[in-house]
Amino acid sequence: MNKIAIITGSSKGIGAATAIRLASEGYDICVNYLSNDVAAKDVVETVKTYDVNAISVKADISSEKEVEMLFQAVDQKLGTPFALVNNAGILFKQSRVVEMTAERINRVLMTNVTGCFLCCKEAITRMSTKNGGHGGVIVNVSSAASRIGSSGEYVDYAASKGAVDTLTLGLASEVAEEGIRVNCVRPGFIYTDMHKSGGEPNRVDRLKEFLPIKRGGQPEEVAAAISWLVSSESSYTTGSFIEVSGGR
């Protein structure tokens, strides 16, 4: 098996933890990111300590051209990917829907939804047994927000994750016969920088008491679920969702 994984948005947070986790399991890793060159290089250095190959590729997943370049870079420098983790995602300052501009909504959808579709498309082209590929796995990173709706915070973001859930269901059925499994994780309140983008860096600590488990989650706890979905341990699982959200 070609143990090669692309993790979008893996210069920090859940993506970085996933890159490191998959490297520890012997995967060569492509660290994709948007702007933070230093953080991406740091993740590559850590990943390489597991004696695997690793590259970082700066590419905006909301751009069709850049996604094509991302996958071409992997073809040339690592080989045909076996795993794609669609992790990159964004949100903006907490707002009510009536305050949201079309520009903001479209940016969220372009990254969180279109970006996910574009990466799936490139991955499937390479993985599909119908095209002579060896199959593979796709794991989408959605959010508990898709079930809850994030009212008063970022309904645009929650709705984008609803689309990721539906993509997971439809795509899993579409490509099952081509040797590709498609699954999804739905994290809850995880300690990462993302909450800063929403204007509330300490959001997890404010909300953790409302969870049955009474604490926020760590990126590594999400990475563990992703790792199971990538592994052959989940070989009969497709079109499925793992809630990594402390019981809510």
| Residues at the site binding ligand NAP, with contacts judged by CB under 6 A | 8-15, 32-36, 39, 60-62, 87-90, 111, 115, 141, 143, 187, 189-190, 192-194
**Active-site residue identified among 33, 157, 191, 236:** 157
In the residue annotation, 27 being an active-site residue is answered as no
Closest by CA position to 185, among listed 144, 150, 218: 144
| Sign for the pseudo-dihedral over CA of 61, 189, 139, 12 | positive
CB of 59 to ligand NAP, least distance (A): 6
Q: Which is nearer to ligand NAP, 150 or 234 (CB)?
A: 150
Residues 16 and 28: their CA atoms lie apart, in Å, by 14
Q: What are the structure tokens assigned to 220, written together?
A: 């590594």
Select 88 or 133, whichever has its Cβ closest to ligand NAP.
88
Please say which residue, 75 or 165, places its beta carbon nearer to ligand NAP.
Answer: 165
Closest CB 179 distance from ligand NAP, rounded Å = 26
Q: Going by C-beta distance under 8 Å and a sequence separation of 6 or more, which residues neighbour residue 113?
A: 160, 163, 164, 167
- Residues 26 and 51: their CA atoms lie apart, in Å, by 8
d(CA 128, CA 116) in angstroms, rounded, equals: 17
**Cβ distance to ligand NAP smaller for residue 74 or 128:** 74
How near is the Cβ of 111 to ligand NAP at its closest, in Å?
4
Q: Choose among 69, 58, 63, 115: nearest CA to 89.
A: 115
- Least Å distance, CB 24 to ligand NAP, is 18
Q: Active-site residues: which are they?
A: 157
